A and B are shown apart, each in its own frame.
Chain A
Amino acid sequence: MSKIEIRELSKRFDKGKKHIEALQNIDLTVSQGEFVCILGPSGCGKTTLLRILANLEKPSKGKVTIHSKHNSQQPIQSMVFQENGVIPWLTVEENVAFGLKMRHTPEKFTKKQTEYYISKVGLADFRKLYPKELSGGMKQRVSIARAFANDPEILLMDEPFAALDEQNKFILQEELLNIWQETRKTVLFITHSIDEALLLSDRILLMSAQPGKIVKDIRLNIPRPRTIEQVRSKPEITRIFLEIWEHLQHEVKQTRLIKTAMEE
């Protein structure tokens, strides 16, 4: 069953006389319950794609359809932001409850949902703290808990772990997988880390830069639950890694060539 359908989607940003083709003719279908990673060099428009799905940006052309369950009280999508998406003047608890409070769900439900996901991400002892008192990893836990507590049909994640150190990243990735396996929500996850994509996703979409296009669609049939050790050691995964690596190398070089050509 398809959950998200994107047809001939383009996005152009006009900056004075210059315009940037952020996305060009994106065609994509994502199935219900799929964990999709979008991988690409920085500036390839992957965040723009996500922001369009998150309703924070309007497409210039094309159509995005999200098939939601009928008569459902569930929100269609919730986003986990890059970093600093946690609101500093709300406590951990209030941040996690934010989506539910904004939707004015029954208090009992809000409380239950909030409690559940706070303890799920291991922040039960920190619920009354403000974000300034938390480490970067803890803040991203709050961000993830907030999105899951809101119980959306689709989760959109915009490089949520990019600012974290390696150890914290591994821990949070595994925690994310644990929570996801419980709910099996459709996830669109943006990253520039190949390891991360291999560990998390059912499907990796490779993007090229300027104009942003999807150039490769890789389906992973690696059994779950996965661990970072497996991802690092299995030969077939290494093969996919190299394939993606080569492609990205090529992309980055290409963009650099175009840039220098344009400057000359």
Chain B
Amino acid sequence: MNINRLIKKINPQQVITISSPLLLLLLWEICSNTGVLDARFFPPPTLIIQTMFSLGESGELFSHISISLTRILLGFLLGVIPAICIGLLMGMYKYFRHFFSPIVMIFMPIPTLAMLPIILILFGIGEFSKMITIAISVFFPVVINTAAGVANIDRIYLDVAKNYQANAKDFFLKIALPGALPVMLEGIQMGQAIALLTIVAAEMIGATSGIGYLIWMNYKAFLLPEMYVGLILISFFGYLFSLLLRGLERKLLPWK
């Protein structure tokens, strides 16, 4: 009776969604245990999980995680907030747009990691330089999407605002900001993905802590299960962040 009800509750779509990663892990486990895959390079998932728990017990793992997350979060905010402000100004005022867009276009194609030496020279090897690195990489997709979001608001809403005598402040809060929000949030999603990529790479190059450092050090020491723990953590947080942002999107855009 209870089992029947449980079976009825299960949504076939969800089953399929969960089944593919599970299948992949299972295949990996089997291949690596039977020697189809070299277990030195591809340790079985069960071993990786065991390693994760033992790293967790020593507390070392959590300090790496919290260091990376702090860098991501602060760096993200450091990039997103000015990007939104400048993007809105660029979208709303054509002089701002003409002024800022060449600067954005010049710096955008340079991979942030290629600027890392300069960032290290300017800001030293402390925490701040890592946050700046993330901030820069997040800045571009957000600024471009925000400006595009404002510029793409249907003209008719601008006419409505003007006809109904909206002042500058009301226009900004009731038309420009909410109208740009959907495209802006897409930019923030992109920025979030780039922030993760950047932090790992930045920590590999110039850090003594964090998830990227964990991956790189363990690779150099040939402790591959430990390295895989780092990779799994990255994947987990990437997924978590995009779920959180999607939740935020649903909250902020009930009208979509």
Q: Do chains A and B stick together as partners?
A: yes
Q: Give residues in A with beta carbon < 8 Å to B.
A: 54-56, 75, 77-79, 81-82, 84-85, 87-91, 98-99, 101-103, 130-132, 146, 150
Contacts of B164 in A (CB 8 A): 75, 78, 98-99, 102-103, 146, 150
Q: Give residues in B with beta carbon < 8 Å to A.
A: 154, 156-157, 159-167, 170, 174-175, 178-179, 181, 253-256
Cross-chain contact B255 with A102 (CB below 8 angstroms): no
A102→B171 CA distance, assembly (Å): 9
Of the candidates B165, B175, B181, B255, the one whose C-beta lies within 8 Å of that of A130 is B255
Of the candidates B159, B174, B175, B178, the one whose C-beta lies within 8 Å of that of A81 is B159
A101→B178 CA distance, assembly (Å): 16
Report whether over half of chain B's contact residues are helix, strand or loop; otherwise say mixed. helix
Q: List 15 A-B contacts (CB under 8 A).
A: A54-B163, A55-B163, A56-B159, A56-B162, A79-B160, A81-B156, A81-B159, A85-B160, A87-B175, A88-B255, A98-B164, A101-B174, A102-B164, A102-B166, A130-B254
A100→B165 CA distance, assembly (Å): 9
Known: A54-B163, A84-B156, A101-B174. 7 other contacts (CB 8 A): A56-B159, A87-B157, A89-B179, A99-B165, A101-B170, A102-B167, A132-B255
Cross-chain contact A81 with B160 (CB below 8 angstroms): yes
Closest 7 CB pairs of A and B: A130-B255, A99-B164, A89-B178, A102-B166, A89-B255, A79-B163, A102-B164
Q: Among B163, B164, B170, find the residue whose CB has the most chain A CB atoms closer than 10 A.
A: B163
From residue A132, how far is it (CB to closest CB) to chain B in Å?
Answer: 6
From residue B190, how far is it (CB to closest CB) to chain A in Å?
Answer: 22
A91→B254 CA distance, assembly (Å): 10
Cross-chain contact A78 with B163 (CB below 8 angstroms): yes
A103→B167 CA distance, assembly (Å): 9
Contacts of A85 in B (CB 8 A): 156, 159-160
Given contacts A75-B165, A84-B154, A103-B165, contact A98 B160 (CB under 8 A): yes
Contacts of B178 in A (CB 8 A): 89
From residue A213, how far is it (CB to closest CB) to chain B in Å?
Answer: 25
Contacts of B253 in A (CB 8 A): 89
Residue of chain B at shortest CB distance from A87: B157
Contacts of B162 in A (CB 8 A): 55-56
From residue B176, how far is it (CB to closest CB) to chain A in Å?
Answer: 11
Q: Among A91, A99, A146, find the residue whose CB has the most chain B CB atoms closer than 10 A.
A: A99
Contacts of A87 in B (CB 8 A): 157, 160, 174-175
Residue of chain B at shortest CB distance from A103: B165
Contacts of A88 in B (CB 8 A): 255
Contacts of B254 in A (CB 8 A): 130
From residue A104, how far is it (CB to closest CB) to chain B in Å?
Answer: 9
Residue of chain A at shortest CB distance from B255: A130
Contacts of A98 in B (CB 8 A): 160, 164, 174
A22→B59 CA distance, assembly (Å): 76
A87→B178 CA distance, assembly (Å): 10
A12→B179 CA distance, assembly (Å): 31
From residue B229, how far is it (CB to closest CB) to chain A in Å?
Answer: 44
A81→B167 CA distance, assembly (Å): 20
From residue A161, how far is it (CB to closest CB) to chain B in Å?
Answer: 17
From residue B174, how far is it (CB to closest CB) to chain A in Å?
Answer: 8
A132→B256 CA distance, assembly (Å): 7
Contacts of A89 in B (CB 8 A): 178-179, 181, 253, 255
From residue A220, how far is it (CB to closest CB) to chain B in Å?
Answer: 28
A173→B157 CA distance, assembly (Å): 24
